[in-house]
Amino acid sequence: MGEDGRVAASVVASQAALHSRYGGVVPELAARRHAELLVPVVRAAFDEAGSGWADVAAIAVTRGPGLVGALLVGVAAAKAMAYARGLPLVGVNHLAGHVMAALLGPPEGERAQPAWPAVALVVSGSHTDLLRIAADPDDPSRPGELRRLGATRDDAAGEAFDKVARLLGLGYPGGPAIERAAEEAGPKRAGFALPRPMRREGYDFSFSGLKTAVALLWEEAGRTAAGRGERLRRELAREFQEAVVDVLVEKTMRAADEEGARSVVLSGGVARNGRLRARLAEACAARGLPLAVPPPRYCTDNAAMIALAAHLALARGRRDSLDLDADPDLDFEEGPLAAWA
């Protein structure tokens, strides 16, 4: 990332192919592959940016939450780089990174400027969080205090997509597979309805009951003469996606209304979902609220969003020492950006 907060290069080494045969991420394999790929990825980023170590002003790293093995590899490498080059080090909360991704455009390369306060929905494989981000009192064009309004009580939205895809035999990662199957189902209504868990209650979410409802219908179909046809598989995928999107959109818009939001932010891996993007855009347009969504490649995990969070924290004078530790259970401190980034 350049000094102006623009992305100079973005390289992502996806491990999806490695883990797909196991139907989910295998932590031990993830950590080992992380260690193998780290140096080549840094080199590739330098190549893409046409720069080298002399151009680097600081090192940013995700310090949590997440899988401990992968976090340890990243933090150890970042500390080594910071020490060897005498550079400042900033440990970033992964969730803060996802929120910041909404400032990475579109358009690609431009910095989006959501109006604060904003309500942010972060939906990934490990998070379903509804957040309120105030304006920075010193500079209202910048994000300030962050407060969590609600979160999932069981499965994260992306986790629910992955689990439902697995039980329908649609493969891993589940989100894109469900989205494709839902498109293939077409618009005709299915002969069953799925629940919308906690739709009207507070700001928390619950997706495990929805997953169970899909599992029961799928099992039941296996016992009938018609069996588990391709059509039912696609309809279940579509109805599941509709149910998740209904709940996410309804709660986000209620939060936006009640919290006096001037914009809505959507991010995290599930924000790649076309149906969610379209439905939330429609709901925001109906209220005249701008919606900030990162380009798809900055929705799923990437280093650009971590660099941007660190960039903003550094500007506020935040630095971490070489004692920085990975924290797999890291939450965020409710408070100003510089503290939680």
The minimum distance between CB 311 and ligand KG4, in angstroms, equals: 20
Q: Which of Zn ion, ligand KG4, none does 270 bind, CB closer than 5 to 8 A by kind?
A: ligand KG4
174 in Cβ contact with 164 (< 8 Å): yes
Q: Which of Zn ion, ligand KG4, none does 136 bind, CB closer than 5 to 8 A by kind?
A: none
- Non-local CB neighbours of 195 within 8 Å, separated by 6+ positions: 209, 210, 213, 243
Q: Does residue 62 touch Zn ion according to CB under 5 A?
A: no
| Span 284-303, contacts to ligand KG4 by CB under 6 A | 300-301
Q: Does residue 125 touch ligand KG4 according to CB under 6 A?
A: yes
The minimum distance between CB 119 and Zn ion, in angstroms, equals: 19
Instruction: Choose between 25 and 72: whose C-beta lies nearer to Zn ion.
Output: 25
The minimum distance between CB 163 and ligand KG4, in angstroms, equals: 9
Amino acid residing at 262: R
Q: Which stretch binds Zn ion (CB under 5 A): 43-51, 102-110, 116-124, 212-220?
A: 116-124
Distance (Å, whole) CA 151 – CA 147: 11
Largest Cα span, the chain: 69
Among residues 244, 126, 233, 216, the alpha carbon closest in space to that of 177 is found at 233
- Per residue in 89-126, is it b (16+ CB within 10 Å) or e — as a string? bbbbbbbbbbbbbbbbbeeeeeebebebbbbbbbbbbb
Q: Which of Zn ion, ligand KG4, none does 162 bind, CB closer than 5 to 8 A by kind?
A: ligand KG4
Among residues 95, 93, 62, the alpha carbon closest in space to that of 76 is found at 62
The minimum distance between CB 272 and ligand KG4, in angstroms, equals: 4
Q: Which of ligand KG4, Zn ion, none does 174 bind, CB closer than 5 to 8 A by kind?
A: ligand KG4
Which of 93, 124, 152, 241 is in the footprint of Zn ion by CB under 5 A?
124
Q: Residue 65: is the preceding peptide bond cis (ω within 30°)? A: yes
Q: Which residues pair with 120 in a beta bridge?
A: 131, 265
Q: Which residues bind ligand KG4 (CB under 6 A)?
A: 124-126, 158-159, 161-162, 173-176, 179, 268-270, 272-273, 300-301
Q: Which residues bind Zn ion (CB under 5 A)?
A: 124, 301
